[in-house]
Amino acid sequence: MSLFLGLDSSTQSLTAIVIEVSDGGERRVVFEHSFQFDTELPEYGTTHGVLPNDDAQVVHSPPALWVAALDHVMEFLARESEVDLKQIRAVAGSGQQHGSVYLNASATGALSQLDPRRPLVEQIGTIFSRPTSPIWMDSSTSQECREITDALSGPSALADLTGSRAFERFTGPQIRKFYHTEPEAYANTTTIHLVSSFLATLLCGEHAAIDPGDGAGMNLMDLRRKAWAPAALDATAPGLQDKLPPVKESSTIAGRLSSYWAERFGFSTETLVALSSGDNPCSLIGVGLVASGRIAISLGTSDTLFGFLPQPVVDSGGRGHVFGSPTGDYMSLICFLNGSLAREQIRDAAGYSWDDFERVLGETPPGNRGRVLLPWFAPEITPHVPESGVRRYGLDDSDGPGNVRAVVEAQMMAMANHSEWMGVEVDTIYATGGAASNRGILTIMADVHGANVYQLEVGNSAALGAALRAFQAFEVACGRGTSWDEVIRDFVTPLAESRIAPDPERVELYRELRRVYTACEEHALGRGEDPASFLARYQDA
Ligand code: XUL
């Protein structure tokens, strides 16, 4: 019997999943645990995993919180579970994408000599050259995006080189802002990690490389060569090449679990540590998208829509991204910032529980009688909305049921409209992430996309994907050419009984309403006329 550990360091929590792969063919998840940052470690002062800031565009988290959380989760696994730690052959991490961790010259030594008698976080207090980490929700780098874009001959050239035009949350623009605003601290930085590569570094006690899945979220990596792009580095900040870990294939082994974990909690120093990847590339594996033709929608803090791509096909409209897939291929992705927190705000304003939320979705009419909400509670990534501000058309903000339906319809229509560039005829969607348990939401997903929607057995596809990546990297390290289909077998089967089929009449209704939704977006962004007359047709109906 072999066990593999996957760890997902996300915006609001750290999740661990252990899978068992036995010689007799049995495969199952044997352990799953999530550790919520705000409630379990309140001393870090985060709300939804991020630090308060007067500027809504600046969103940072304390990296020491992620370190403390890792110690707690490993302790929980060692002390509170039945898992035989010595059977864990390999571990791999998943991290919220784009977030960066800045380390000084003392980090390398400190991480290689950790004292197992003291908590990890107590020993790494002095290794940060920047005490907070900008994360994917930060949208404060528009100026840096413009500068990088200009230096690289415009958005199309940048997207062609790196897989995306410049995005505020991407690590390159964030590094440039750090260099601009805190040049001394930048100069004192010797290593810049992503959340994912920092996690692998903590596990093996030495600097881990960045994989092409997460490296593509930086505006710094040459997507086709899967190596840093010198022109992008030069356009971002001086001396950057020396501060970045190398890019290596996702299945690379970064090292072995360090003696800190072995001596403190009883893990084995034989356990291999594979490179970490971003949470979306890990989810791609965790929902089983190792070949073309299907897409997945993850409903988490961010809502993302993604699919496998055999070749890098970049969005000429500049909305989407191409990242590396952990299989060595590519993936397309589009990200919406106002995901679960927007749903939560609407639910809280109406004083509902999640059960009420689901019930109300079943009771309100599809199309919401033309009442539309643009859920921009925070600055939005897709479409680009620099200033937050919820907009309502024909909808009273005191109308609880109307707002519940409106927020979900808005999210689904925005996803369908803004993902057209992927050119995928969607007939099947795998739904994952916390809100994928809400069948009311999935019904609207099925009708808006005109596709069958399936739930999967394991809701946390990023952590599962990380565990599956650990298994695959172990197979590669053992010299076995186990295929990805074989790696994911039995773990990612969509639940046949969970299928939600689209209703043809509602599909037709949403096909029209998607145009109305676009008109509302265009109007709200100052690019189109007031859609009132367009909406009235549905209000009278
Ligand atoms: C993807 C993105 C988010 C984060 C959240 O580009 O920004 O999905 O990865 O975890």
**In the 8-state DSSP scheme, what is residue 244?**
S
**Protein residue closest via CA to atom 10 of ligand 1:** 96
The pLDDT of residue 539: 77
Q: What DSSP string runs through 433-450?
A: SGGGG-HHHHHHHHHHHT
Ligand 1 mean position, distance from CA 415 (Å): 15
Q: Is the dihedral of CA 213, 219, 225, 227 positive or negative?
A: negative
In this prediction, residues 477-487 reach a mean pLDDT of 95
302: CA distance to ligand 1 center in Å? 6
Residue with the nearest Cα to atom 5 of ligand 1?
A: 96
Residues sharing a CB contact under 8 Å with residue 103, sequence separation 6 or more, in sequence order: 127, 128, 129, 189, 190, 191, 192, 193
Q: Whose CA is nearest to atom 7 of ligand 1?
A: 136
> Of the candidates 267, 305, 246, which has an alpha carbon nearest to the alpha carbon of residue 74?
267
Atom of ligand 1 nearest to the CA of 278: 9
Q: Does position 420 have pLDDT exceeding 80, yes or no?
A: yes
Look-up of token digits 């009132």: 532
Mean per-residue pLDDT of the chain: 96
pLDDT of residue 490: 93
Mutate which of 12, 96, 333 for ligand 1 pocket (most atoms within 8 A of beta carbon): 96
How far does the centroid of ligand 1 lie from the alpha carbon of residue 304, in Å?
7
Read off the tokens for 510: 């949403």
What is the DSSP code (8-state) at residue 105? T
- Using alpha carbons, select from 286, 296, 299 the residue that is nearest to residue 441: 299
User: What is the tens place of the pLDDT at every residue in 52-107?
Assistant: 999 999 999 999 999 999 999 999 999 999 999 999 999 999 999 999 999 999 99
Q: 104: burial class by Cβ within 10 Å (0-12, 13-18, 19+)? A: middle
Lowest mean pLDDT, pick from 151-155, 386-390, 457-461, 499-503? 457-461
pLDDT digits (tens, 9 = 90+) for 355-414: 999 999 999 999 999 999 999 999 999 999 999 999 999 999 999 999 999 999 999 999
Ligand 1 pocket (Cβ < 6 Å) reads 10-11, 96-98, 136, 169, 217, 278-280, 302, 304, 335
pLDDT at 293 over 80: no
* pLDDT at residue 497 greater than cutoff 60: yes
Structure-token match 């399936």, residue found: 454
Alpha-carbon distance 50 to 259, whole Å? 31
Query: What does the pLDDT read at residue 345?
Result: 98
Instruction: Find out whether 272 and 90 touch, Cβ atoms under 8 Å.
Output: yes
Token duo for residue 299? 């409903």
pLDDT at 540 (0 to 100): 58
Residue whose CA is at the smallest distance from ligand 1 atom 6: 335
Distance 335 CA to ligand 1 centre (A): 7
The DSSP call for residue 380 is B
Grade residue 541 by pLDDT with cuts at 50, 70 and 90. Answer: low
Which residues fall within 8 angstroms of residue 463, CB to CB, at 6 or more apart?
Answer: 6, 7, 8, 15, 16, 17, 32, 94, 282, 286
pLDDT of residue 24: 79
Can you tell me the mean pLDDT for 257-279? Answer: 98
Residue 364 has phi, psi (to 5 degrees) of -95, 150
Closest CA to 475 of 274, 280, 310: 274
457-463: average pLDDT: 92
**pTM for the complete prediction?**
0.96
Closest listed residue to residue 284, CA positions, set 472, 132, 411: 472
Q: How far is the CA of 541 from the centre of ligand 1 (A)?
A: 39
Nearest-atom index, ligand 1, CA of 280: 9
> 92-110, pLDDT tens digit by residue?
999 999 999 999 999 999 9
